[in-house]
Amino acid sequence: MSVLDQARANKPEGYRSQNQSKWEYSNGLYQRHLELYLDRMFTYLSMTGAQRVLDAGCGEGIVYRAMRERGWRGRWTGFDFSAEAVDFARLASPEVEWICASAYNIPFPDSSFDLVFSSQVLEHLEAPDLPLKEYARVSSKWLLLSVPLEPWFRVLTWISVGLHLGTDPGHVNHWTPAAFRRFVRRMGRIHTWNRTTVYQIALVDKE
């Protein structure tokens, strides 16, 4: 199933969110860009062998469904600050534990998960150091983190907004590759860093 179909599966009537619209934009090239991004995230997730995963800022659970579609099996848990997004995730994927919570105070004990997965979340947070520490606290080993690739993402956003093709995503952090690597090294060794179109991905080993 394509990510577009995964995004639309079991969507409540009238549901709208900026995150949801990102996955539902039906341009073929854009959808291919999303599929390549998800392929890369699946590769790194599989590389770790993690079986207990926390999806930090899970939104509507679309990334989880994409990972399952690609063959990942294990125990997935997701949280988001949006109760409406969590309700959608529960409806679409009832086999997963989805909860409403904040990245600044994750309601799980230390080392509860093998890996914390954070896809396009940290760029929205005013004080990202605190969620990063929380991610590291609840993970026993791995952090798989993705944010936009700057300055290219902002350039494309300005063009998109100027042509009335998209909206401002409301990012407050704009990491270049060097700056993002410095940021995540606070929590451990970068096992892998890579980019895919306008996103960058870091797999961090806490040990």
Q: What is the pLDDT of residues 151-184, one digit of tens each?
A: 866 666 555 545 444 555 677 889 999 999 999 9
pLDDT reported for residue 102:
97
Beta 97-100 vs 139-148: how paired, if at all? unpaired
CATH number at residue 41: 3.40.50.150
Dihedral over Cα of 142, 147, 150, 152: its sign: positive
pTM for the complete prediction? 0.91
pLDDT reported for residue 163:
47
Q: How far is CA 71 from CA 46, 88, 164, 188, in A?
A: 9, 22, 37, 28
pLDDT digits (tens, 9 = 90+) for 51-71: 999 999 999 999 999 999 999
Domain of 138 in residue numbering reads as: 3-205
Which amino acid is present at 35? E
pLDDT reported for residue 147:
95
Does the structure show a pLDDT above 90 at 18?
no
